Amino acid sequence: MADRISMDDFVGRHGDDVTVVDVREADEYVSGHVPGAIFAPMSNITPHLAALPRDEVVYVICRSGQRSQAMADLMVAQGIRAVSIDGGTMAWINAGQPVVEGRTPR
């Protein structure tokens, strides 16, 4: 099972040198996501797994934390050091952190 990280701890670690994977669907992602988050929807996660780093922690986020935990567990089973972010994007927004809106998923 993948580890979890609190939003307070994640906010302290977020920056240019971390990998964040947003597993929500496209409409959710473009409505607002963590800056720098990679779009890899749960419904089509498999093609994205090969591109994720194996030598660093990958932070996985969704709306509230349930999908991210399931996808982080899947990633751990594939040899990725994945950690699920408790509270998801809603907690990020509620913590007053910036979001990127309206961009096409990358």
Active site members: 62
| C-beta of residue 7 within 8 angstroms of C-beta of residue 88 | no
Rounded-to-integer distance, Cα 51 and Cα 10, Å? 22
- Reported as type and span, the H/E element at residue 11 is helix 7-13
In sequence order, the 6+-apart residues with CB closer than 8 A to the CB of 53 are 19, 80
Strand order in the sheet with 81-85: 3-5, 81-85, 57-61, 19-22, 38-39
